[in-house]
Every structure is written in C-alpha cells, then in structure tokens.
C-alpha cells in the first residue's frame, strides 16, 4: 500500500511535505498507541527523545490529538512548553484513506532534574468519544560529570 507522508511542526501547526512510502497495517479499534516500554535514562543538560505512534481509523475517530504528558499526582499535563520541548508530528495516510499512522516525536531540548518521572502517550479522538492512554514510561535524569583541572 502507498501512504502519503505529511510533516507538521507544533510552532504554528505548520504542515509541509508529501512523499510516497510503502506500508501496510491491520488494526482493531478506533485508536491504538505503540511505543517502547523500556525505561529511559538521560543526562542533565542533554537532549532526550520520546516517540509514540498512534494508529487510528478516521471513520471512527475523525481527527485525533496525540501527545506526550508528564504525570503528576493529579494530572498529566501535555509537553507543550516551546522553550523546553520540540514536538514534531508525521502522519501517514493509508491508500484507503481511513487508517492513519500519526508519529508524535517530542524532544527535550535540555534535560533537568525536574524532568525525572513518569510519562505517557495519549490520544483523543475528535468524534466517538474514543481515547487511548498508553503505558507508563519512566525517565531518569543523571547528573553531568564535571572535570576539574
């Protein structure tokens, strides 16, 4: 199957590009999230990347909002601070135009100790009331090594 590859950057939600790739998928349900279960370890002051793929059916979902969030005691706020994160969304439209793959890549520009914790990829369909909440992934932030001369 051929897919259209569309790139969107969350600065002003500008989309660009259209290329053909070969890909096939079978999915059940309105939306499904796929990403690593492996805990991540980063270094303070360095970048770190979170990647999530949402596979969804536009006939059941319409459009979706897929995003990474950082769990606190009471909520899971989206990672949207442009001074701290860069999120890029790539969406592949299958040739039947009803199933899509949305890749959500969020980069921490510079990790800080406050970035330690539990993260989750979530998706919300604009219609049908469908949501998907991915598994938890733990991020550990190591301190930097300083050499004195």
User: What count of Cα atoms within 13 Å lies in the side-chain half-sphere of residue 18?
Assistant: 3
Overall number of domains in the chain: 1
The CATH number linked to 111 is: 2.60.40.10
Q: How far is CA 55 from CA 42, 58, 129, 139, in A?
A: 28, 10, 16, 24
The residue segments making up the domain with residue 117 are 2-142
pLDDT of residue 83: 96
Query: 148 in a domain, yes or no?
Result: no
Taking residues 46-66, report their average pLDDT.
Answer: 95
Query: 90 in a domain, yes or no?
Result: yes
pLDDT digits (tens, 9 = 90+) for 103-141: 999 999 999 999 999 999 999 999 988 999 999 999 999
Q: Given the DSSP bridges, would you call strands 137-142 and 40-43 parallel, antiparallel or unpaired?
A: parallel
Return the SS3 of 147. coil
Cα–Cα distance measured from residue 48 to residue 118, given in angstroms and rounded to the nearest whole number: 14
Query: Is residue 40 within 8 Å of 138, Cβ to Cβ?
Result: yes
């Amino acid at each position: 199957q051929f897919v259209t590859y569309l790139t969107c950057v969350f600065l002003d939600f500008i989309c660009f590009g259209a290329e053909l790739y070969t890909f096939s998928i079978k999915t059940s349900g309105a939306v499904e999230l796929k990403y690593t279960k492996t805990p991540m370890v980063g270094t303070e002051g360095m970048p770190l990347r979170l990647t999530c793929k949402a596979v969804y059916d536009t006939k059941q979902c319409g459009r979706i909002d897929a995003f990474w969030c950082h769990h606190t005691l009471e909520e899971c706020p989206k990672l949207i601070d442009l001074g701290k994160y860069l999120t890029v969304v790539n969406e592949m439209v299958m040739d039947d135009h009803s199933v899509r793959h949305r890749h959500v890549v969020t980069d921490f520009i510079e990790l800080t100790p406050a970035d330690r914790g539990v993260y989750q990829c979530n998706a919300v369909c604009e219609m049908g009331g469908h949501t998907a909440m991915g598994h938890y992934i733990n991020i550990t932030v190591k301190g930097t090594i300083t050499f004195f001369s």
